[in-house]
A and B are shown apart, each in its own frame.
Chain A
Amino acid sequence: MNGVLKTERLTKTFGGLIAVDDVSLELQKGELLALIGPNGAGKSTCFNMLMGQLKATSGKVYLADEEITDLSPRQVWRKGVGRTFQITATYSSMTVIENVQMALLSHFGDILRFLPRAHLLHREEALKLLDLVGMADQADRHCAVLAYGDLKRIELAIALAHSPMLLLMDEPTAGMSPKERVDLMELTAKIVRDQGVSVLFTEHDMDVVFAHSHRIMVLNRGKLIAEGDAGEIRNNPLVQEVYLGGGTLFTSEVESHA
């Protein structure tokens, strides 16, 4: 098999609330898979379990046939998983390129070196990564003064620094303008094509999802309720009910916030 990521009956409960309920999914090499669902459906919880921020209550996670359930975020990253955050996380006291160099320093095991000058190390590689996300011309700018969309692209460069086989993107286009959304998703699609990376992302903007993902999975109240390509999902009655009415969406939100 060539599955890059596989979960088996992944479940997370918080007290009595079942946030993620028996989710099994599989991601192929070079695939761009969207995980969608209304607020409170369990997307972020799912993500945090994959990356090791949260411990799964039960179930297993495999990365290329190797079990990574309950590894720490650091270990998961070492196995070859990169991630971007719903709310950007960058080093605000550093320049753009230093943000990327930081990930490279970690990747090449340089963190505990006390003698060399950090800003001279891996500069070439960092520039290449910035060039890939279209930020090379801003490499030496101070990170704290950049626009939000630019920060998202820096995060992408950071996540790609150790040539991951899998990229997890939690709402990559949240807070962006429509043009920035399209640009970022086209960039992601290009990276998937060129580098053979697999991408799992969550998203609220349906235009983005339908236009760019190879396959879509729909999560509602912790359960996977549908799977398929854009056409299949659009015409799936269950999904329509969740998103467009029938009262299900409303009740699910009330319950999950109770």
Chain B
Amino acid sequence: MELFVAQIITGLANASSLFLVACGLSLIFGVTRIVNFAHGSLYMLGAYLGYTFMQVLPGALGFWSSILLAGVSVGVIGILVEMLVLRPVYKAPELFQLVATFGVILVIQDIALIVFGPEDLLGPRAPGLRGVFRVMGEPVPKYDIILLVITPIVALALWYLITQTRVGVLVRAATQDREMVSALGVNQAWLFTGVFGLGSALAGLGGALQLPKGGADLLMDFHILAPVFVVVVIGGMGSLPGAYLAAVIISVLNVFAVTYLPQSTLVLMFVVMIVVLTIRPYGLFGREEVAGEHGQVGEPERPIKPASPRVQLLTSVFILLLAMMPIYSASFSLVFTTDVLIFCLFAASLHFLLGLGGLVSFGHAAYYGGGAYVAALLVTHANTPMELAFLLAPLGAGIAALVIGWVCLRLTGVYFAMLTLAFAQLLWSLVFQWGEVTGGDDGIVNIWPSEWLKPTIVYYYLTLLFCVGGILLLRHIAHSPFGYALRAARDSKRQAESTGIDTRKIQLLAFGFAGFMGGLAGALFVFSKGSVFPNELEIARSFDALIVVFLGGVKTLAGGVAGGVFFKGIEDILLKFEYWRLVMGLLIIFVVVLAPEGIVGSLRKGAERLNLIKSKDM
């Protein structure tokens, strides 16, 4: 019983940072409709800045003012990010901002590395709060008690700001109807900036507050991201009490899990999230998102048509060049091209879902990494012949996608995206923590293809066959009645359902098919590298694919492939530099700001402007 109470207190104390970061994210999303993936980075900056200030400012007063200063500084950084990166892309296609915020993550990662160095920083203890209190005989750190008190105070202050002040009225009004608020003469741009600054400040505050407990390191941005999204989604997007309750639930459960079931800590929160969303699809305190048909943001997507003879000829020449590559090129470029081809298939499978289906899956790595792991596990534990494992891997990924899709498709919009992310993270945590079977962090090694496929050239041809075949198949299906029905379900679900089209069935099948193709890419990957590690299932891998699809162009059929080639090519060059993330991040931001149509879309527009191709009907 005593231990029980002490653990609840620890859980509540741990909830405080989580809550601060989560309510910042929730606030920003509510008003600007931007899912700020860089929120974890702002939290990390808060920790580093707090640490730096604490080195300079002495004593208890110095400690607490450092935390406040960290919050304010991160708020200012947030304002800069909003003005420089996000303002230009509010009008860009939906979720394009997400890619921009991902660019911000990369930039902040390298800036933190340059400024604060690669070593983990041990957070200073709070002056005067070094010891423990005895609660029913159990030791509880004094700082935990302080956190326990601070969080509700911040929450109350926020609640007052939102419900009782004029600013709060504007924020709530903007959450409900942005157009109306701006029609009433409120300067929307500054409202957005202000809210973004406030949300960022909260993240910075959360980062600085947890210093005595966790310190600062360069991985904390991604580590906080998953729990924060889980909290926001469980609590209900835009709900402060929800965020608080969810943060408490997750943190307390986590403390208990550490004690009683240490293997389950990572999996647990996603299980909680899936259970909550199954019972209350819009979170504990969330309200249903009205999926209005406001049409697509930006220029409407053009009708698709099969490739013209000229394009077919060009594609054939390109494939022929690829096929003849072993003749004119060295072995290492074959390995590189193999990587690029696999990545393009992965990206194309996501593009199928995202571009044609309008289904923004944030967790596509689940099927890519899933396929790779299915193959690796079959070979390691069941001595399955390579050829069979290679065929079963995409099947396994496809079935997983059908199951996951079945659950996720009950939701729409951001909730759908978050749930797909949660499932991917669930798989990742399973693989990561179930060491006996999956090797955990050490991965599974020695997964090589059969003898006849081992030579680089032969494996290259295998990859070429399946990747080009897969991409062409995806493209062909886009032009088939099924592909049309998928677009119809995206364009107007109302009309599709009223003309007898079962939109959910269509979307579920598309989900399964995209998962199958992702799994195929994963299987090709695992046998080309001979090993697989949990990072193939990570959020970062899902983001790679998302970025590629957005950069290539969501609204163009060739978008996934073009983005894949571009991304891999750039990555290959950049990885040679020490600060490649910085360059990559800036590059992504530039593309997003300057070419919101994506690569293919911008090229097409450019060509139309120069009258190289004729524009139809615009």
Contact = CB atoms under 8 A, between A and B. Distances in A.
A106 interface: yes
Given A112-B482, A145-B617, A74 B502 contact: yes
A44 interface: no
B570 to A, nearest CB: 30
Contacts of B609: none
Nearest to B477: A114
Interface string A85-119: 10101111111001001110111001111111111
B500 A158 contact: no
B492 A90 contact: yes
Interface in B471-522: 476-477, 479-485, 487-488, 490-492, 494-502, 506, 509
Given A74-B501, A142-B616, A117 B480 contact: yes
Contacts of B309: none
B499 A116 contact: no
Contacts of A113: 480-482
B295 interface: yes
A222 to B, nearest CB: 24
A145 B304 CA distance: 15
Contacts of B500: 74, 77-78, 106-107, 162
A89 B494 contact: yes
A167 to B, nearest CB: 12
Contact of B495 (A85, A98, A101): A85
Interface string A4-48: 000000000000000000000000000000000000000000000
A94 B492 CA distance: 11
B597 to A, nearest CB: 15
A161 B496 CA distance: 13
Identify the interface centre among A101, A119, A121, A143: most chain B CB within 10 Å of its CB.
Answer: A119
A19 B303 CA distance: 41
A88 to B, nearest CB: 9
Contacts of B301: 92-93, 144
Contacts of A155: 495
A51 B494 CA distance: 12
B485 to A, nearest CB: 5
A73 interface: yes
B495 A118 contact: no
Contacts of B296: 92
B495 A105 contact: no
Nearest to B495: A89
Contacts of B484: 94, 98, 101-102, 105, 118-119
Interface string A114-154: 11111101000000000000000000011111000000000
A77 B499 contact: yes
A74 to B, nearest CB: 5
A83 interface: yes
B618 interface: yes
Nearest to B301: A93
Contacts of B305: 119
A93 B300 contact: yes
Q: Which of A77, A106, A111, A155 has the most CB of B within 10 A?
A: A111
B306 interface: yes
A89 B491 CA distance: 9
A95 B295 CA distance: 16
B480 A85 contact: no
B302 interface: yes
B293 interface: yes
Contact of B303 (A90, A95, A117): A95
B601 to A, nearest CB: 13
Given A93-B300, A118-B479, A111 B497 contact: no
Given A89-B492, A93-B302, A93-B491, A106 B499 contact: yes
Interface in B566-618: 616-618
A231 to B, nearest CB: 35
Contacts of B496: 102
B480 A116 contact: yes
A111 B491 contact: no
A118 B481 contact: yes
Nearest to A110: B481
Contacts of A158: 495, 499
Contacts of B293: 87, 89
Given A74-B501, A111-B506, A85 B491 contact: no
A181 B477 CA distance: 40
A93 B495 CA distance: 14
Contacts of A91: 487-488, 491-492, 495
Contacts of B490: 93
Contacts of B302: 93, 142
A51 B487 contact: no
A213 B602 CA distance: 51
Nearest to A122: B481
Contacts of B479: 117-119
Contact of A118 (B300, B480, B506): B480
Residue with the greatest number of chain B CB neighbours at <10 A, chosen from A77, A101, A112, A155: A112
B497 A115 contact: no
Contacts of B487: 91, 93-94
14 contacts: A73-B498, A85-B495, A91-B488, A91-B491, A92-B492, A93-B487, A94-B303, A98-B484, A110-B481, A116-B481, A142-B617, A144-B300, A155-B495, A161-B499
List 8 tightest A-B contacts by C-beta distance, closest first: A144-B300, A89-B495, A93-B301, A91-B491, A118-B484, A89-B492, A106-B500, A103-B499
Interface of B: 293, 295-296, 300-306, 476-477, 479-485, 487-488, 490-492, 494-502, 506, 509, 616-618
